[in-house]
Amino acid sequence: MPVIPCRRGKVRDVYDLGDRLVIIATDRISAFDWVLPTAIPDKGRVLTALTLFWLDHLKVANHLLRHGRRSDGACLRRAGRRPEGRTMLVRKTEVIPVECVVRGFTSPFGVEGVSVHGQVCGIALQRG
């Protein structure tokens, strides 16, 4: 029986289990809302580890029920995928549409704001 995600995002696949979901972080790469043909090995594991870190660090109520259980990825293994280290079992909840994009550079405007005014977008930064 083929296993088909109920929803495929740019880098995550979501599987509906009725009252819960299994979220699998894949190794797909996206840039400017396009999924690129080449994957980054273990990217899904890193994304899952980052998610788990922040959910634990923030200490706020969230959707996570558990992570890393072999049984949560059993259907995916039958489909030939390796979910270890990238699987989260979560409760269904309302999605808050927030996206965070991190870039590895600062725009010339940002550099000027820091060097001339000591701030970026009106937010004061420490020297150095």
**How much is the average pLDDT of 36-62?**
92
pLDDT (tens digit, 9 = 90+) per residue, 60-107?
999 999 987 665 555 555 555 667 788 899 999 988 888 777 766 666
Domains of the chain (ranges plus CATH)? 7-124 (3.30.200.20)
Write down the mean pLDDT value for the chain. 80
Would you say residue 109 has pLDDT above 70?
A: no
Burial of 41 per CB tally in 10 Å (0-12, 13-18, 19+): exposed
Q: Phi-psi bin for 43: left (phi > 0), alpha (psi -120 to 50), beta?
A: alpha
Q: How confident is the model at residue 46 (pLDDT cuts 50, 70, 90)?
A: very high
